[in-house]
């Protein structure tokens, strides 16, 4: 046993992505030995995700040569040995370029290995009375997707220390298919909520139509339902992108709108955050500049104090707080959103074409955010595994007023920008006959945190010119 003592805690990468071997410190004396078999703080510090185990299983094997596998389940495992020694073999059975990749090694009490979802796991005991232990982060379900590979598969060609002809193998394991007949384990699903909205449509263009990506409208999935946690087998999902929102800023000031805004923008986000935390899901929640009062003379950073003015902003701020309770979360703050469907740019282009000279607010300052750019920023954060937290995501470039944007629309569509007259917010809404929500005067969001991840936000004016030019002069 002396050879297992004295190791330093160490992380060792393998050829299979996400399959990570760990050397564990084992402390012993004449009485026996002790080790920390799983220590969350230390493992996370070494870059292993907090995979949230929910069950601890032990398989006791009294004979040398006991051989089990190759099994790939839709959950993660932390595999170790309490007593004895095994030869372990792992085969990547996930969809993708490393399908069929193999890694083998011996595991004794001074080693453990993290086996990610979809990687086939198998072992052969090398000593009698071997206790094989594994933590898993989901419970067995008949509805889950599993994959199995024959221990004797010629393609992966595992070099078992004891020939398979000399060991006892269960009939079930002997009947597993060869690699060519294995159905790969698909990635955990991505669920996009608000799929019919402007950002939802852009996310569909950005993410595509792969089988593991699911798009849902309110009709498909009611995020305000108290039984939301029962609406899906949530452990199959890796990411929820919440692009659904109540965005009727002025109507939110009415009794009916207030209830709807809080239900969609805050309460439902709390339900999603609880689901995400329980099942190890990354929650992406889209927020707004309206969480600030707009009184700052500087661009708002992600950690600026929340100070919403109206009901819409208050409900969005509450949603931000709720989303942040999920361990894996991205809160995406944006402003002045432009995408497919009715929006400010289309309205201005239509007025220009119809010969109407508009009065447009000139004391609200910000930058346009095109949904295609927001979708690209979300995809970038997910693809690069950026640090979880809040990120501002808007167009880059100079801060301007709505009147300035309107003049650019007129100019890009071949009309005289001078036809646009600037007026104050107070003047614009002076004769309003229905509820009007207070607006932040400064909606400029600081982009340095997003840029530090390697993402380059597009200049809003360049994106505007591209949109108007691509549509033949009309948005």
- Rounded Cα–Cα distance for residues 324 and 273 (Å): 8
Distance CA 353, CA 359 (A): 16
Contacts (Cβ under 8 Å, ≥6 apart) of 141: 233, 235
**By three-state DSSP, how is residue 393 classified?**
coil
- Based on its alpha-carbon atoms, the radius of gyration of the chain, rounded to whole angstroms, reads 28
Question: Catalytic residue at 27?
Answer: no
Spell 224-256 as b/e; 16+ CB within 10 A means b: eeeebeeebebbbbbbbbbbbbbbebbbbbeee
| Structural tokens at position 231 | 């609406």
Put residue 459 in one of left, alpha, beta given phi > 0 → left and psi -120 to 50 → alpha.
beta
Q: Which of 71, 279, 329, 415 is catalytic?
A: 71
Gap between the Cα atoms of 374 and 367, Å rounded: 13
Strands annotated E in 269-382: 282-288, 329-334, 337-338, 359-361, 365-366, 369-370
Helix, coil or strand: residue 78: strand
Q: Which of 123, 132, 134, 312 is catalytic?
A: 134
Sign of CA dihedral 204, 209, 212, 214: positive
How far apart are the C-alpha atoms of 144 and 158, rounded to whole Å?
27
Residue 351's Cβ-side half-sphere holds a number of Cα atoms within 13 Å equal to 21
C-alpha 251, offset from chain centre:
31
Q: Which residue, 411, 405, 373, is CA-closest to 392?
A: 373
For this structure, is 279 an active site residue? no
CA distances from 251 to 50, 311, 390, 425 (A): 42, 9, 27, 17
Please list the active-site residues.
71, 134
């Amino acid at each position: 046993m002396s050879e297992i003592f004295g190791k330093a805690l160490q992380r060792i990468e393998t050829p299979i992505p996400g399959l990570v071997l760990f050397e564990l410190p084992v402390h012993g004396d004449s009485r026996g030995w002790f080790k920390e078999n799983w220590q969350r703080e230390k493992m996370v510090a070494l870059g292993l995700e907090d995979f949230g185990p929910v069950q601890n299983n032990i398989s006791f094997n009294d004979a040398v040569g006991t051989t089990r596998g190759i099994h790939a389940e839709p959950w993660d495992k932390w595999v170790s040995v309490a007593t004895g020694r095994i030869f372990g073999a792992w085969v990547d059975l996930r969809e993708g370029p490393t399908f069929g990749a193999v890694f083998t090694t011996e595991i004794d009490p001074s080693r453990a290995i993290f086996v990610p979802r979809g990687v086939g796991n198998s072992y052969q005991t090398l000593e009698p009375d071997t206790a094989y232990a594994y933590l898993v982060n989901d419970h067995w379900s008949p509805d889950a997707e599993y994959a199995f590979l024959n221990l004797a598969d010629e393609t992966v060609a595992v070099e078992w220390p004891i020939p398979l002809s000399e060991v006892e193998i269960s009939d079930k394991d002997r009947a597993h298919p060869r690699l060519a007949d294995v159905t790969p384990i698909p990635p955990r699903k991505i669920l996009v909520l608000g799929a019919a909205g402007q950002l939802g449509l852009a996310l569909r263009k950005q993410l595509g139509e792969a089988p593991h990506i699911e798009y849902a409208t309110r009709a498909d999935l009611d995020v305000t339902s108290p039984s939301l946690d029962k609406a899906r087998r949530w452990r199959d999902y890796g990411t929820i992108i919440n692009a659904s929102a109540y965005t009727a800023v002025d109507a939110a000031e009415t009794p009916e709108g207030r209830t709807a805004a809080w239900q969609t923008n805050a309460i439902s986000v709390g339900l999603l955050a609880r689901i995400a935390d329980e099942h190890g899901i990354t929650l992406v929640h889209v927020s707004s500049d309206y969480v600030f009062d707009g009184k700052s003379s500087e661009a708002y950073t992600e950690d600026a104090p929340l100070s919403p003015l109206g009901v819409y902003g208050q409900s969005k701020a509450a949603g931000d707080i709720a989303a942040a309770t999920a361990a894996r979360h991205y809160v995406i703050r944006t402003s002045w959103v432009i995408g497919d469907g009715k929006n400010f740019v289309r309205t201005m282009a239509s007025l220009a074409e119809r010969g109407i000279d508009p009065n447009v607010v000139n004391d609200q300052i910000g930058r346009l955010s095109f949904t295609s750019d927001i979708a690209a920023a979300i995809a970038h954060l997910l693809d690069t595994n950026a640090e979880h937290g809040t990120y501002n995501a808007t167009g880059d470039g100079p801060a301007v007023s709505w009147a300035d944007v309107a003049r650019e629309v007129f100019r890009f569509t071949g009309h005289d920008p001078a036809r646009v007259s600037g007026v104050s917010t107070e003047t614009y809404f002076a004769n309003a006959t229905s509820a009007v929500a207070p607006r932040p005067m400064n909606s400029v969001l600081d982009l340095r945190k997003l840029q530090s991840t390697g993402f380059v936000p597009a200049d809003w004016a360049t994106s505007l010119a591209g949109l108007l030019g691509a549509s033949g002069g009309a948005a």
